[in-house]
Amino acid sequence: MMESEPTVRPCRLYALAILILSILFVLGLMAGSRWVSLSSLWAALNGGGDLLTKISVVELRLPRNMLGMLGGAALGVAGAVIQGVTRNPLASPGLTGVIASAALAVVSLRTLASPDAFWLPLMALAGGLVGGALTFVIAGRQQLQPERVVLAGIAVTSLATAVTTGLLLVSGAEAAELYYWLAGSLMGRGWVQLELVLPWLVLPLVVLFFMHRPFKLLQLDDDLALAMGLAVGRWRLTFLLLALLVAAALVAFTGPIVFIGLVAPHIAKRLIGSQIKHWLPLSALFGALLLLAADILARQLAFPQELPVGMLTALIGAPWLIYLLNTKQSPRSV
Partner 1 sequence: MTAIVTAQKPSNRAVIGIILGGIGLILAIVTGVQSGAVDLTWGQIWVGLTGDSSEHVQRVIFDIRLPRTLIGLLIGIHFAVSGWLLQLLSRNPLAEPGILGISAGASLIAVIAFVIGDWVVSGANPYNNTSPVLQYLPWFAMAGGLVAAVAVYLLGLRNGQLSPLKMTLTGAVIAGMLHALTTGVLAFWGHAHTELVAQWLAGSLYGAKWDYLFTLLPWTVIGLVGVGLLVKPLKVMQLDDQHVHTLGLKLNRWRAFALLIATLLAASAVGVVGPVGFIGLVIPHISRKLAGANLPVQLVFCVVFGALLTVGADVLGRTLFTPYEVPVGVVSAILGVPFFLYLLSRQS
Segment contacting partner 1 by CB under 8 A, of 15-23, 58-66, 89-97, 280-288: 89-97
Segment contacting partner 1 by CB under 8 A, of 120-128, 153-161, 200-208, 282-290: 153-161
Of the residues 30, 122, 159, 196, which one makes contact with partner 1 according to CB under 8 A: 159
C-alpha distances in Å from residue 251, one per residue of 8, 106, 233, 325: 33, 9, 27, 27
- How many residues make contact with partner 1 (CB under 8 A)? 53
**Residue 179 exposed, middle or buried by CB count within 10 Å (0-12, 13-18, 19+):** middle
Tell me which long-range contacts 17-22 makes (C-beta under 8 A, separation of at least 24).
17/282, 17/285, 17/286, 17/289, 18/285, 20/289, 21/69, 21/285, 21/288, 21/289, 21/292
Smallest CA-to-CA distance from 91 within 27, 141, 154 is with: 154
Q: What's the rounded Cα separation, in Å, for the pair 41 and 29?
A: 8
Confirm or reject binding of residue 94 to partner 1 (CB under 8 A): yes
In whole angstroms, the minimum distance from the beta carbon of 39 to partner 1 comes to: 33
Q: Kindly report the number of other CB atoms within 10 A of residue 209's CB atom.
A: 14
Region 161-200 residues binding partner 1, contact defined as CB under 8 A: 161-163, 165-166, 168-170, 175-176, 179-180, 182-184
Confirm or reject binding of residue 147 to partner 1 (CB under 8 A): yes
In whole angstroms, the minimum distance from the beta carbon of 127 to partner 1 comes to: 15
Segment contacting partner 1 by CB under 8 A, of 12-20, 119-127, 149-157, 267-275: 149-157
In whole angstroms, the minimum distance from the beta carbon of 148 to partner 1 comes to: 8
Confirm or reject binding of residue 334 to partner 1 (CB under 8 A): yes
Q: CB neighbours of 45 closer than 8 A, spacing ≥ 6?
A: 57, 58
Confirm or reject binding of residue 79 to partner 1 (CB under 8 A): no
The interface mask with partner 1, positions 107-146, x = CB under 8 A, is: ---------------------------x--xxxx-x----
Whichever of 288 and 321 has its CB closer to partner 1, that residue is 321
Contact status, residue 67 vs residue 194, Cβ threshold 8 Å: yes
Q: Is the dihedral of CA 57, 24, 262, 78 positive or negative?
A: negative
Confirm or reject binding of residue 333 to partner 1 (CB under 8 A): yes
In angstroms, how far is CA 133 from the centroid of its own chain?
18
Checking phi first, is residue 255 left (phi over 0); if not, alpha (psi -120 to 50) or beta?
left
Sites of contact with partner 1 (CB under 8 A) = 90, 94-95, 134, 137-140, 142, 147-148, 150-152, 154-155, 157-159, 161-163, 165-166, 168-170, 175-176, 179-180, 182-184, 256, 258, 305-308, 310-311, 313-315, 317-318, 321-322, 325-326, 333-334
